[in-house]
Amino acid sequence: MNLVFLGPPGAGKGTMAAVAKDFFNIPHISTGDLFRYNIKNETELGKEVKAILASGELVPDSVTIKMVQDRFTNDDTKNGFILDGFPRTIAQADALAQFKKLDAVVNFVLDRESIIKRLSGRRMCKSTGRIYHVLYNPPKVEGIDDETGEPLIQRDDDKEEAILNRLDVYQAQTEPLIEYYREKGLLIDIDASKEPSVVFEQLKKALN
């Protein structure tokens, strides 16, 4: 199954993809995670995009599309994939259509107030990318990853100023994709405001 997870920052795309990839046995490809991996490892790409991610702006289409095309040269995407955070512009969606056929685009719907609450309370394990929330999904020991024992961090772009910018960028550049995919008959709307297990049940039902 070839899937795209669409929705505003903090809607829970990464949280759902982490569960869905095991359930459907397909890889989770998050462009945000790929950029953060490059930043952590101080690659040329990482140096190029570090300040862009921290501000909440989008990385240029040409750079992002090339990174995704490179990722698709890996054999693990032959039987399906979950693209999380890509495409994010019409140009990216047009480019994706040139090299992959999609089965569905899942649109995670969440209001602005909930988005801000989710992002400001998010914490993550830097080495594994595992996601927590200080209230909604806390680790067993405060500030520590359940499995690796490493300290949890707050993403640079989860600070208030960057969150507000990301929401503006989403509205201006990514939201038009909802109609783009609805017109193609691929869009599935999911109410992302419920707790994760309920959101996942909705997702399974919709994809069946």
Report the alpha-carbon distance of residue 154 to residue 136 in Å, rounded.
15
CB of 201 to ligand AP5, least distance (A): 11
Q: Is 137 a binder of ligand AP5 (CB under 6 A)?
A: yes
Q: Is 88 a catalytic residue?
A: yes
Verify cis geometry, omega within 30 degrees of 0, for the bond prior to 196. no
Site for ligand AP5 in 93-112 (CB under 6 A): none
Binding of residue 13 to ligand AP5 (CB under 6 A): yes
Decide if 13 is catalytic. Answer: yes
Cβ atoms within 10 A of the Cβ of 34, count? 20
How many Å from the N-terminal Cα to the C-terminal Cα in the chain? 11
Residues 138-167 that bind ligand AP5 (CB under 6 A): 157, 166
Please choose, from the candidates 72, 73, 53, the residue with its C-alpha nearest in 3D space to the C-alpha of residue 165. Answer: 53
Q: Residue 60 CB: number of other CB atoms within 10 A? A: 14
Active site residue 100: no
Query: What span, in angstroms and rounded, lies between the C-alpha atoms of 113 and 61?
Result: 29
Cβ at position 123, least distance to ligand AP5 in Å: 7
Write down how long the chain is. 208
Residue 202 lies near ligand AP5 (rule: CB under 6 A): no
Candidates 3, 4, 6, 10: give the one binding ligand AP5 (CB under 6 A): 10
Give me the residues that bind ligand AP5 (CB under 6 A), please. 7, 9-15, 30-32, 35, 52-53, 56-59, 64, 85-86, 88, 92, 118, 121-122, 131-133, 136-137, 157, 166, 195-196, 199
**What residues are labeled active site?**
13, 88, 122, 155, 166
